[in-house]
Amino acid sequence: MSTASGTSQGRVDVDGTRLALSQLGLSYVVEALPQMLGDAVKENLAPHRFLDKLLEVELSRREERRIKTSLKLSGLPTGQTLGNFDFTFQPGIEKSRIETLATCAFIRDHATVLACGPPGTGKTHLAIALGVKAVENGFSVAFYRLEDLLHAMKQDADVAPRRLRGKKYLKVSLLIIDEVGFQPMTRQEASLFFRLVSYRYQRGSTLITTNKAVQDWPEVLAGDEVMATAILDRLLHRCHVLAIKGRSYRLKELEKLLK
């Protein structure tokens, strides 16, 4: 490969190439082209390898941008990944099982994940981490704490069903609902929650973290056993249950401070 980038004519050629690339929407290649041309000359890179490298840059940068944008839109809190989850502190959690969930096969199957356990045992961390993995694998994700989700659904309570389908909490591939069970729902809230679960059933995946065992859900759902049965029937049909037992991470940190 040769280039005349050191001449006036060469500079015009490079500028013309960058303009054409820009018009094609290859913005990352435009930015990287001068440096990559110089490197290609030094390495005597074959033309087809140079083209491969240009495309690799464009595709990798676009993927980085997609992930960054998708994470922002998802509402996922930052900083919690599988890489920084302390499995040694919670030996009851099977790492291999979490790694299987991280392949996102459960999302392709429209299955549910139910993470149950006391406060502070890592349920939310795992839920967020699996949400990040889903984004990296190309799935749309929305993260809600239950209180915020109920607020959004109340605002949409009177929206026509055909218009409701466009709501993020209904259409995303993976909906993560955090902190179910800390406060009992009113009858209206339980009814809206039932509408949500019914709509997403076999259409999308839902990951729920809760401090309540399955048998205690009627008291969470306004004391309505019939509704609780209907909701759990849908959630548990194709479900991965993570029963997390152990000490609280937050109490562990407090113990360190008190020593």
Determine the longest span between alpha carbons in the chain, in angstroms.
81
Burial string for 198-211 (b: 16+ CB within 10 Å, else e) reads: ebbbeebbbbbbbb
Question: For residues 207 and 235, is the Cβ–Cβ distance under 8 A?
Answer: no
| Per-residue pLDDT, 33 | 77
Range of lowest pLDDT (13-17, 34-38, 112-116)? 13-17
| Per-residue pLDDT, 250 | 57
Residue ranges matching CATH 3.40.50.300 in the chain: 95-258
Q: Residue 59 corresponds to which tokens in the numbers above?
A: 């595709």
| Per-residue pLDDT, 162 | 82
| Per-residue pLDDT, 60 | 85
Is residue 4 scored above 50 in pLDDT? Answer: no
Q: Mean pLDDT across the stretch 124-133? A: 97
Residue 182's identity, in one-letter code, is: F
pLDDT digits (tens, 9 = 90+) for 223-243: 999 999 999 999 999 999 999
Q: Mean pLDDT across the stretch 136-165? A: 94
Superfamily of domain 95-258: P-loop containing nucleotide triphosphate hydrolases (3.40.50.300)
Between these two residues, 246 and 197, which has the higher pLDDT value?
Answer: 197
The C-alpha angle 97, 139, 185, rounded to 5 degrees, equals 75
- pLDDT > 70: percent of the chain: 88
Is residue 155 scored above 70 in pLDDT? Answer: yes
Question: For residues 180 and 210, is the Cβ–Cβ distance under 8 A?
Answer: yes
pLDDT digits (tens, 9 = 90+) for 73-101: 999 999 999 999 999 888 889 999 999 99
Between these two residues, 255 and 186, which has the higher pLDDT value?
Answer: 186
